Chains A and B, each alone.
Chain A
Amino acid sequence: SAVISQKPSRDICQRGTSLTIQCQVDSQVTMMFWYRQQPGQSLTLIATANQGSEATYESGFVIDKFPISRPNLTFSTLTVSNMSPEDSSIYLCSVAGGRDTQYFGPGTRLTVL
């Protein structure tokens, strides 16, 4: 499986600011995904990061709040914009693997004050 890293691993931010999270994969992958995991909850898909085109967002998530970049097949960023305490979550990137599975990065733990 691919080795996936995320930066930062955690951050504490003030409300109204924005944070950009980076996801780096050690091999080229076709599909990358971004998830949110709120405290004590399961994973919710934010969007599919498409290389060379706009991300595909799930219901309830919009580009203005969560802009995503995918400049190449090994890298993606997720920005959490104009943050509020409700955005405090773990943000996870994942990549598509064989057998239709997904492999996850270690996550970015965000706390918004």
Chain B
Amino acid sequence: DAGITQSPRHKVTETGTPVTLRCHQTENHRYMYWYRQDPGHGLRLIHYSYGVKDTDKGEVSDGYSVSRSKTEDFLLTLESATSSQTSVYFCAISVGPGDTGELFFGEGSRLTVL
């Protein structure tokens, strides 16, 4: 168990409101990722981090921002949620060597934007 937790696990919000999802790990892994999962699209990378304050965009980063002020926490923020951001969000950490190791995923956060 790589000790990764996501919060909240479920959230319903309204269009235009800000939302922050938290990913917390207990084992000091350097690389952390946020993916979203939608039917027919698999998992799509939103943002990732390769260290404290070091982040980069993924393939679907528009409308999302991230922050990593501590090794253990990777926050995903939707500044103004839209219905197209209704999805299941997965945080993951790379537990292998470097940035090409296997990913260990959190349980997911289901977000519904009304």
A and B physically associate: no
Chain A contacts to B: CB under 8 angstroms: none
Chain B contacts to A: CB under 8 angstroms: none
